[in-house]
Amino acid sequence: MPSKQRGEELRKIIKSVRDGTFEYDSKEPVTTDWAQYDHAQIYEMIYYLDNIRDLVDEADERIKKRTPPRKRGPGRPPTDPADVAKALLLQTYVSSSNRLAEGFSLLFQEKLGIGCHFSYKTIERGYDKGLVNKILDEIVVITNESVEGKEDTFSFDGTGFSASNKENYARFATKTEF
């Protein structure tokens, strides 16, 4: 629709609203269960920590079942990649720095099932470790399994729209002649 027609249409709508002749179908007011809302707000972090623990443990177990054990070389034993993955997911949830994430990992060590304390440098190097990335990839697989066959539109941000601006906005573009 050309901009002149859109302007005329808008003027008609504004005039009908002012005259009181605009047909408006109001929606019924939504009732909010405040007790349920309060409960969700209070327990959000508890549920999230439980989900981190359960998802990482499930992903780690799946990976260990399908890969043969590796022989350990000399030196200090490596930090459990599942523990590092838990720390990374917790760090993302609380939007914290690596040092704060170390503190949160200590604070929630029992809740998350983290076996040992490790430094913020281990968290910092977490994404560089192949085993940690395998666990995070497996978590994506696990979470996608729960909605398999239930969704038909996918996108990177949950809107269902394409990530391409050209694809999203090309249909709205009109030729402008100079």
Is this structure's pTM higher than 0.85? no
Output the tens digit of pLDDT for each of the chain's 178 residues: 677 888 888 998 899 889 888 888 888 888 999 999 999 999 999 999 999 999 999 999 999 999 998 888 899 888 999 999 999 999 999 999 999 999 999 999 999 999 999 999 999 999 888 999 999 999 999 998 988 887 776 666 667 666 666 655 565 555 555 5
Name which of 159, 124, 130, 12 is nearest 63 in CA terms.
130
Predicted local confidence at residue 147, as pLDDT: 81
User: Any idea what the Cα angle at residue 142 is, between residues 90 and 71, rounded to 5°?
Assistant: 80
**What are the phi and psi torsion angles at 144 (to 5°)?**
-70, -30
Predicted local confidence at residue 172, as pLDDT: 58
Predicted local confidence at residue 103, as pLDDT: 97
Residue 71 burial (10 A CB sphere; 0-12, 13-18, 19+): exposed
